Structure 1
Amino acid sequence: MKKMLAISMTLLMGTSLITGCSKTDSRPEGSKSAQEQLDQVTLKIMIPGDRPKDFDAVIAEAEKRLAPTLNVKLNVVFVPWSDLAQKTQVTLASGEAVDLVFDAPWLHLNQMVAANYYAPLDDLLKQYGPDILKARSEQLWEANKYNGQIMAIPLSNAYLAGHVYYVRKDLREKLGVAPIKTYDDLIKFAEQVKEKVPDISPIISYKAVTDWTNFRTFFDYDSHLNETAIGVNGVLYLKDNDGKVHNMFEEMDSTVWKWITDARYLYQNKLMYQDVMSVKDQMEVFKSGKAAIINAADFGVKTDVANALKKNVPGAEVEAVTFFKLEKEANLSSFQAWNFIALSQVSKNKERAIQFLNWTQQKDNYDLLAYGIKGTNWEPIGENQYKVLNDGYAWFPYAWIWNPTLDRYDQGLGEEAQALNQFVADADNFTPSKLTGFTFDSAPVANEIAQLNTLRDKYMDAIYLGIVDPETYWNKYKSEASSAAKKIQVEMQKQIDAFLASKN
């Protein structure tokens, strides 16, 4: 779920020529003669996650390919997810030498841009990043600018995140339940599991952004409910693509309230895992065979999930159920990327850093850094799929090189998932949100956002997972958070109105 928080996940956000030439040379670095070879530099790159077992071998191959042209060495620093915000912020604030840094709107991208920690990229990309520009749609670039400038490179392989429910296919078939097509079908299956397979929980859910109630917004085609620029809090939301910030403390949306009461029904009737609030890794519960349904990011079933479940429960099978509409213009998108890679303002290697990122946006090089050593870690299946051969190189292109043009799909996901992934990778399949390109300046209400987030953590999961009486706890949440929510709503609406007026 990392990439979704999908999630998961997700990450990116001076121009003296260093080639020694006295005139501009428009040729790509790979075409230059040996006499013009650049001096060697080492790029320091900070990205999230754990260092894969075979990372050193992959970097050695990358540096071998880079040596004749860009002459770059790579010092890639992996930062644990739990330390990511603090570690990257301290590094940037201290002026420590670093070239490329992972960032995201859900991390601290806006604040770092406002504090001038990142270098603007428009001119650098025009001169040194043609493949970076080409690998992303115009919609993606335009939607991810800051005050009209490119301040970080968007990392994304789609214009809308995939969402599914993992369902125990073996149990569904054993119980004689037809393939699940609707949410009601899903709950009927859960009720069958409770009645006839009492030793496992019918449902387990993630918390926070992807709790059971919030997850249902991903399949809401009646009013297109969505979070605002400050993320999910259960209070402020967007609706009907109307350019308005709605406040559920002032007017509760009837659809959302039904979802909340539905969640309460699931918990009270023991359809929801009873210790859901205390579980640290919900997917591990599902993999162990202790639940029949879980909500998940991305389309299709991840190979590691299917394999782990089968190992723990011989004969068990998983299928992915989604209510996503595979129809052109049925889905809204703001084309906002989840993750970014940004160029540090203090970098002494700005040109070379962009040249390196441009190098990663060429097919063979992208394949190397995204999937590992061909024939050892993976093998290609056609032009846009791959097969994982071992666990030596964990998948993490979302942290530094991701784009919708070169990304391959895991063959194990199946044909339906491939079709869905290809659909969401095409910007032309979406209706643009009215707020495409809008960037919220949170500074005027930073304290209120902090207050609301603290209270969200106190109340939202308990309400949205059905753990507590919804009316009682909603009123408590409202009494403590309504003032902060209102100030945020007013400030955000003011900025949205100005943004929309500027487009007319």
Structure 2
Amino acid sequence: MWRKKKNVLSVALAGALAASLTACSTPSSSNNDTNGATSKPAATTAATAAATGAATGGKIDTSEFQTISYVMLGDKPKNGQFEKVMEKVNALLKQKANAKLEIKWVEWADWQTKYNLLLASGEPVDLITVATDWLDTWQNAQKGAFMPLDKLLPTYAPLTWTEVPPTDWAETKYKNQIMLIPEDHYTQWVNHGFLYRGDWAKEFGITTPIKDWETLGKYFQGVKDKKPGVMPWDPNGTSGDIAGGYINSHTDAIELPVSTGMFGIIYGKSYDEKYTAYSPIFDDTFVNFAKQMKEWGDKGFWREDVLNYKGDNRAELEAGKSAVDQHHTQTFLGERVKMDKLQPGSDLQFYPFSSTRNNLVSLSITHGGTSVGAKSKHPERALMVYDLIRQDPEIYHLMNYGLEGVQYVVKDGKRYRPEGYDVQRDDFYSDFWGGRIDKNEIPDGNEYAGKADMYAAYDKIKKPYPYGRFVFDKAPVTNELTAVTQVVGQMGPAILYGKAGDPVKAVNDFRAKLKAAGYDKLQAEVQKQLDAFKTMVESSK
């Protein structure tokens, strides 16, 4: 999945920093050609206007100091570096917006449940990390979790408002109101697959890149036979990505933005039949998947108590105690560099699930984004703070990279680790995934040399994401969707990791429970709304 945006931003800024500041912005011109190279906007000359400027020419009163919360997905850092960086961030926010930022962490253990409960609680949070394809954004919007931003953005986040083109804002709307700010100006691939050791693959006689599950199984068996003390794969039993990965490798189905919890069960049949609702759960695809997972589980490719395991598989890969990690391209690019240091000669490689059939679909621009909580007490200041984080290079670099000289140094325009850097002592992250932009990025001087070739290969086969403006209205099937999601959560994990007994019987029982929960009514409603979406798309051409 791929995201590229081209944009040229011209902003005239006037005024001086005080309790209020006026900025005048001219609209951007934008070309959303995802096949072209990213063209970065001109640098902002007065980043403070992003927080305190008013595109309308009016004045903004920032005399009252306000604390702004920001919901982030991730485990709170524990080495003290985060606090040191935030002290600097907040000094700048105090100066530029008379505000302070507090991160509200939703940690990875049971993250989906915790995140949705937080949003449903009515707690007055300000900024919220969102994503329409993995964080149930539309479902939460339907529950009233977010504040409409149409009237606020031009005044309180003027640089972001002009930077995001109308076609992108259209993909952020629910009932014709803007519900989130998209991370639409950041280049990334987040198509999933397996990270594996190239040195071990060669040792096991696998001399070409892994491109199918059968060869992956041979790799796992090689680890089992020849690497005592190493777990072929040590997954967290709550992860459902493996189901979507198998479907991606064995069909051309495209998962629809209709969340059913642990893994999706309703897809568009293919890119050519994108408006036809289809479920691979009800054909041989899922039966074959369940059989393979039972076989792999029986062979000991993961631990016996996988369903209760909460460990860190990536850390085990880095320590040489696991042979793979399941995640996406961006993770691979970072881990490749890290593994070259931690496991010299490991030659980390990546098997994208889409490489089996070359059926790569681009990424929604709302894969990452930021919303404002419906009960936020300070939505205006929250947007000012967001505009600063996204647009002010100094604050952006702090939020994304940490302190220069501690977490990184810049040489010849590229970012490197300082001499003596210790990952446990000095590591920093904020998990800011809701508004990164290419123009403020500092290129990584140690990035994987094969990155350009990977991106070029993806470019040759990608198809544009077809559901960016499809918002499923669950109101007619709320009960059915809830019941189906519960069945997925209750029965799915055991099937996914080969712990449900006979796989054919397990899948048939799963299907029966889905039907009893109202699956047929749910799929019929999805199809009805896809038909309406098709009409809308075709009429707008």
**TM interval, short-chain normalised:** 0.7 to 0.9
Structure 2 residue identity aligned to 1:445 = V
Structure 2 residue identity aligned to 1:469 = D
Among 180, 194, 209, the alignment partner of 1:165 is 194
Residue 319 of structure 1: how far off its partner (Å): 0.4
The alpha-carbon distance between structure 1 residues 90 and 195, as it changes in their structure 2 partners (threshold 3 A), is closer
Looking at structure 2, the residues matched to 134 and 175 of structure 1 have their Cα atoms a distance apart, in angstroms, of 54
Looking at structure 1, the residues matched to 469 and 415 of structure 2 have their Cα atoms a distance apart, in angstroms, of 31
Q: TM-score, normalised by structure 1?
A: 0.78
Residue 489 of structure 1: how far off its partner (Å): 0.7
Preserved contact between residue 136 and residue 259 of structure 2 (Cα < 8 Å): no
- Give per-residue Cα distances to partners, 1:53-93, cap 9 Å, x unaligned: 22333233223334444232323333444586777777767
In structure 1, what is the equivalent of residue 269 of structure 2?
Answer: 239
- Give per-residue Cα distances to partners, 1:27-71, cap 9 Å, x unaligned: 7784699x9984142232132334432233323322333444423
Looking at structure 2, the residues matched to 201 and 29 of structure 1 have their Cα atoms a distance apart, in angstroms, of 49
Residue 492 of structure 1: how far off its partner (Å): 1.6
In structure 1, what is the equivalent of residue 399 of structure 2?
Answer: 369
Q: TM-score, normalised by structure 2?
A: 0.73
Among 473, 476, 497, the alignment partner of 2:506 is 473
Residue 372 of structure 1: how far off its partner (Å): 0.9
Structure 2 residue identity aligned to 1:77 = K
Preserved contact between residue 247 and residue 285 of structure 2 (Cα < 8 Å): no
The alpha-carbon distance between structure 1 residues 400 and 332, as it changes in their structure 2 partners (threshold 3 A), is closer
- Give per-residue Cα distances to partners, 1:167-199, cap 9 Å, x unaligned: 233433444542424224433333333343455
Among 329, 333, 337, the alignment partner of 2:366 is 337
Q: Write out aligned runs for 1:255-294 (5 A).
A: 255-281=285-311, 282-294=313-325
Looking at structure 2, the residues matched to 493 and 164 of structure 1 have their Cα atoms a distance apart, in angstroms, of 29
Q: Write out aligned runs for 1:456-471 (5 A).
A: 456-467=488-499, 468-471=501-504
SS in 1 for 2:510: helix
In structure 2, what is the equivalent of residue 297 of structure 1?
Answer: 328
Preserved contact between residue 387 and residue 411 of structure 1 (Cα < 8 Å): no
In structure 1, what is the equivalent of residue 35 of structure 2?
Answer: none
The alpha-carbon distance between structure 1 residues 371 and 418, as it changes in their structure 2 partners (threshold 3 A), is farther
The alpha-carbon distance between structure 1 residues 85 and 301, as it changes in their structure 2 partners (threshold 3 A), is closer
Aligned length: 475
Among 342, 345, 352, the alignment partner of 2:381 is 352
Looking at structure 2, the residues matched to 145 and 359 of structure 1 have their Cα atoms a distance apart, in angstroms, of 23
Unaligned stretches of 5+ residues in structure 1: 1-18
The alpha-carbon distance between structure 1 residues 448 and 119, as it changes in their structure 2 partners (threshold 3 A), is same
Structure 2 residue identity aligned to 1:266 = W
Is residue 182 from structure 1 mapped to residue 211 from structure 2 by the alignment? Answer: yes
Preserved contact between residue 440 and residue 495 of structure 1 (Cα < 8 Å): yes
Preserved contact between residue 103 and residue 109 of structure 1 (Cα < 8 Å): yes
Looking at structure 2, the residues matched to 291 and 310 of structure 1 have their Cα atoms a distance apart, in angstroms, of 16
SS in 2 for 1:466: coil
The alpha-carbon distance between structure 1 residues 318 and 495, as it changes in their structure 2 partners (threshold 3 A), is same
Q: Write out aligned runs for 1:84-483 (5 A).
A: 97-105=124-132, 106-107=134-135, 109-133=137-161, 140-155=168-183, 157-158=186-187, 160-175=189-204, 177-183=206-212, 184-197=214-227, 199-207=229-237, 210-219=240-249, 223-231=252-260, 233=263, 235-241=265-271, 242=273, 243-248=275-280, 251-252=282-283, 254-281=284-311, 282-299=313-330, 301=332, 317=346, 319-323=348-352, 331-333=360-362, 335-362=364-391, 363-380=393-410, 387=417, 389=421, 390-391=423-424, 392-403=426-437, 406-407=440-441, 411-417=445-451, 420=454, 430-467=462-499, 468-483=501-516
Structure 2 residue identity aligned to 1:374 = E
Say which is worse superposed, 59-68 or 301-310, in terms of deviation.
301-310
Preserved contact between residue 130 and residue 137 of structure 2 (Cα < 8 Å): yes
The alpha-carbon distance between structure 1 residues 283 and 86, as it changes in their structure 2 partners (threshold 3 A), is closer
Looking at structure 2, the residues matched to 315 and 334 of structure 1 have their Cα atoms a distance apart, in angstroms, of 33
The alpha-carbon distance between structure 1 residues 197 and 132, as it changes in their structure 2 partners (threshold 3 A), is same
The alpha-carbon distance between structure 1 residues 158 and 398, as it changes in their structure 2 partners (threshold 3 A), is farther
Residue 474 of structure 1: how far off its partner (Å): 0.8
Preserved contact between residue 366 and residue 406 of structure 1 (Cα < 8 Å): yes
State the superposition RMSD in angstroms.
4.1
Structure with larger RCO (C-alpha < 8 A, sep 6+): 1
Looking at structure 2, the residues matched to 454 and 95 of structure 1 have their Cα atoms a distance apart, in angstroms, of 23
Residue 471 of structure 1: how far off its partner (Å): 0.7
Preserved contact between residue 409 and residue 418 of structure 1 (Cα < 8 Å): no
Give percent identity, aligned residues only.
22
Looking at structure 1, the residues matched to 413 and 178 of structure 2 have their Cα atoms a distance apart, in angstroms, of 30
Structure 2 residue identity aligned to 1:376 = V
Looking at structure 2, the residues matched to 195 and 83 of structure 1 have their Cα atoms a distance apart, in angstroms, of 34
Among 512, 515, 522, the alignment partner of 1:488 is 522
Structure 1 residue identity aligned to 2:528 = K
- Give per-residue Cα distances to partners, 1:291-336, cap 9 Å, x unaligned: 323322334547679868986xx7672502234779xx96323615
Residue 371 of structure 1: how far off its partner (Å): 1.3
Residue 346 of structure 1: how far off its partner (Å): 4.0
Looking at structure 2, the residues matched to 310 and 498 of structure 1 have their Cα atoms a distance apart, in angstroms, of 53
- Give per-residue Cα distances to partners, 1:116-146, cap 9 Å, x unaligned: 4432222322333343246656664332321
Residue 348 of structure 1: how far off its partner (Å): 4.5
Among 58, 71, 77, the alignment partner of 2:104 is 77
The alpha-carbon distance between structure 1 residues 152 and 323, as it changes in their structure 2 partners (threshold 3 A), is closer
Preserved contact between residue 300 and residue 413 of structure 1 (Cα < 8 Å): no
The alpha-carbon distance between structure 1 residues 300 and 102, as it changes in their structure 2 partners (threshold 3 A), is closer
Preserved contact between residue 173 and residue 179 of structure 2 (Cα < 8 Å): yes
Structure 2 residue identity aligned to 1:194 = K
